[in-house]
Structure 1
């Protein structure tokens, strides 16, 4: 059973459900809504249903549902990135279907037993029922997908993303399918009693090391992820020190400059390095050129007993100098 669920979750992660499966389910749901609406309106009007009219309405509903989905691309939205504003495509497809059914109801079908006001009620009920059913289907897919991902990634390293700006929110979305890390929330310096959320995750606040220790024990956090280099320098003497004391991983998302020639990143996330805190690019010294300058010469190092001077002496003796 566990292997089966894991296989389904991995399939959902890689394929996000086939477009044609979504189109097929949408069409079935739409046609069933038309049947239910037709049956309910005839029951309310106390008018017996006509098999001929029923078959014609089902055929038109089927054709209009498929045509509306193809016309407005309702089936092409990737489930994991679906948003509420994309429902307008479903609304347009439903209106297209209702428009086709209205032509059949008023101008082609001469069902004198069913009054015009009942026909209008049927069209409105059919449209609202279809819209509600398709919306519930989409929301159910998103919830199921998220639950499967949470189940697959339950053993991943739990981390918090520092900050609540656009970069932090985008980073959470990027790590949604990560096989190594699970974002448990966002972390911000300050104090707040309000329980805010961002990208459907809680926002936690810290003021001192005790707050960091509490979130580690309470939420099982293993690392802090920074979205920007500026934030690492801002928290160099505060949060980074707290993380060091509590043995928390400090991670950062690479910038576009770290991509290879093909635009690919070798690591989506990497540990913070000392040069990330410098505020400038790392200086790379050409040691071969330096060695040519000192080869065969007598060199005097002042302050050779200090840490910098002693390291200079160790470097110079490897450069084939005549005398130190």
Structure 2
């Protein structure tokens, strides 16, 4: 097909070169070419044609794909045309058979316009023929009861071979694999079980259009998550539905091949390297011990309980104020084989010091994971006293009990919003970190640490569940600001890193998790729509609602004075501890308590305790470009 189009283009250029000179002569001599000049044309038309073809070939004009023509290709066309016209004029003057100067001027202008118009005409005609061809093929396939979907396979290795082989057996009535792409150049121009391997993966868009593809199957399990994310980003530029191969191990089963393919998830697009957990130290800390998880029914808390249960603790105590989540988690753990005799689920609040002392005195937990907290930024802006009572004094209650009843380790689940906070929630979590670091100096039998990380995909109240609900309602998806960025990781990998950090704990550390590259929420929204088989702004709109009270455009993981130190895990770092003593902190907490009781401005009280808390006049963070000014002020 490519050679055919190239031949058509070459012949059309031959005709245009000669036609342009004849039109120039007609215009120069008032629509009538003198016989002498026509004889000159007949004497020179072969040289004229050869000059232009040689120059065009030298400029590689027949190598570029005209359906993807860009400004660069237009410059090449212009340069080649001007050079060939100059060479033709020079030839005429050297032979002494030159045309009048105005003929060469008209000729150059006319030929340049013809060359550019011919290229765009090609592109337009090709698009019309492509649409007609696609409609015809789909109609023919539907009429004949053949494949409903035309698929492009990404990856011509073992996984791709399995998919092609099985598709011919079981999927031929639903999906037909038309062609394959692979990064390995050796495989190009060969075939995979009868499926042609056309070229490189980077050319996905071209092959999707050329072969009328509506489905892309990604089957490169050995490529690694970073490369897979890059490939999926290329696929997302098309309108195709996406499927991804779930792994060689699943393909060994006797299930239908469709069972080995799954829809692409938003997590696949993050391109994060897989977190490898060194289970030995984690197991040594958990096996045969009593573990308490506060806020155990929440997103992070429940995943902590799931992963902890795999290490066979003597007892897992789940403490949460919300009974529905706790009840569901209890049933899930029991269904999955966790011994009922080793599981205790208790309902209550971390504000209730008496209830906590009762739990600690009865079960004497060896390790405490403190995940209970109010976390929704806009809600805490409207209820700062509740954020202080639950987050600050709730953490203090749990920490004091852990110290009094000699727990071995206390792990606070913190957030990147605690760094240079611009909202009440983040400020209260920063105070929680200060509680952990200062109380650690008062004891030698309990290691108090905090683990700080950013947003987790799919957690309660996070952006993905919100997008999902909005999409189910028909849209639009809401984004607060087009430039807002966030760090993301999945809930399971966040918990794996929490458990790993716990095994490193020696007391007083703030463990900072490597969150990878930040993600624009707008990109996340657009990709979410595409993965749902829809087109952003056409099928589902995206609207900007403005930054919410206390919301930042960006998040930070470290304060300027903290710095970082490495740990045995390259994904976990240690922030330097603060110098605040527990006595000093106690005075600050008394001040906060009195502010609540007296009705004092709680934001001013929080700023008194955390000087890095930036209270914005309109309740929102300043734009990215004003970051340094905001900090200085």
Structure 1 length-normalised TM: 0.50
Q: Which has the higher helix share?
A: 1
Larger of the two Rg values belongs to structure: 2
Structure 2 length-normalised TM: 0.28
